[in-house]
Amino acid sequence: MFVITSVYFLIVFLIFWGYAGYIILLFIFHTLIPKEDEEKSEPIPIRKPKIAIIVPCFNEESFIDQKADSLKELIYDQDKLDVFFLHGLSSDSTSMKISKFISDMPNWHLIETGCKGKINQINYGLSKLRDVDIIVNTDADVILSPDILIKFVNEFNSDNRVAVVGANISPGDCLPIEEDYWRDQNLLRIIESKVYTSSIVVAPCYAYRAFLIDKFPEDCIADDIFIAFKANTEGYFTRYLRTATGTELRIPNTFSDFFRHKFRKGNAYLVEIFRYLYRLPYMSGWWKVIYLTKVLQLAVIPWVLPYFVLSTISLALSGRGFFQVALFGLVFLLSSIALTSFLMKKARLKYLARRTPKIRSTFLLFTISNLILILVGLTYPFYKQSSNYPKMGRTRC
């Protein structure tokens, strides 16, 4: 009985930590941080570093005009800002449209990369940059708030250890499951940033110090995950800014789009997790906790959950003593998840002012996410992708 209960409680602890314990710990530390007035207007930075914005473009004729209008609205000294459109072999009018609107913008540039794939385009663009302090990577299908560069720069100026800063991106008019996914993922990254460092940023828009990287690995698919992991592993901080906002226009039209996109993203996440596994002994304490939690959440728990369910049923049917063990494990997990839900609800209202999803929606997202992660794990040795992947459809802007 000792061996059986020990294994069972180990499984219970792994599930508890992945879905509740880590989040509860974040909120405990978050309450110890002095409160700041986040609603005050952002001051114009005294020290203004040279910024290069790079925009990878491939068949973006549906979005590029809106992107250009968004970039024109950015608040920053023009002599400290350059915009580079990295165009790669489009079959539509993307290049022609870019050529037209850069004609009256002296600090805007069109670079014909001659290659497909986001990572290839970014690397080509990085090789052309000179005398730049901050690099901003942003997708062509994202509309940014005008003050986003000011907020980025202030965050970099606040601490020399901050090497990556991510924008708080939300999807446009989208499927409820996509909205719920973005909302809670953004919330956790915001809390991580306040406690220590954000685990990742998101691809639609993020900034980083130019010295951090010369080029991305050729097999990199998720540049946003790679850059945050690199900074955190090397002892720098990653910040996910609640007030630096943007809206992504290209989002899943259908549940099938959602499933495929999250599967691809899950595979890319595992690639970056395993890429940095050998650096585990050299990671700082807090980052090591965050990193191992991500390993647990993405690579372990999806497989442990079915075993937990079967073990709980088996123990419950195996006599009074085992029944009590199963009941304790189940009640402990449910109570922990209930506490986590309460904490998340309060944080949503404070930081995002968003509605609380219905229990059915939460359960659906939880189930689908874990099914996707199981498929990601099963196919990981065989499924290979590149950054030149098919784009999703577009919903209403």
Task: List pLDDT tens digits, range 345-380.
Answer: 888 887 776 556 666 677 788 788 888 988 998 888
Task: List pLDDT tens digits, range 120-148.
Answer: 999 999 999 999 999 999 999 999 999 99
Q: Positive or negative, the Cα torsion across 236, 242, 244, 249?
A: positive
CA distance 256 to 250: 15
Task: List pLDDT tens digits, range 241-278.
Answer: 999 999 999 988 888 999 999 999 999 999 999 999 99
Check pLDDT > 90 for residue 177: no
What are residue 87's DSSP bridge partners? 57, 112
**Which domains does the chain carry?**
19-32+51-397 (3.90.550.10)
pTM of whole model > 0.75?
yes
Ranges 47-56, 63-72, 296-305: which has the least confidence? 296-305
Exposure string over 307-337, b if 16+ CB within 10 A, otherwise e: ebeebbeebeeeeeebeebbeebbebbeebb
How large is the average pLDDT for residues 284-296? Answer: 95
Burial (CB < 10 A; 0-12, 13-18, 19+), residue 46, is: exposed
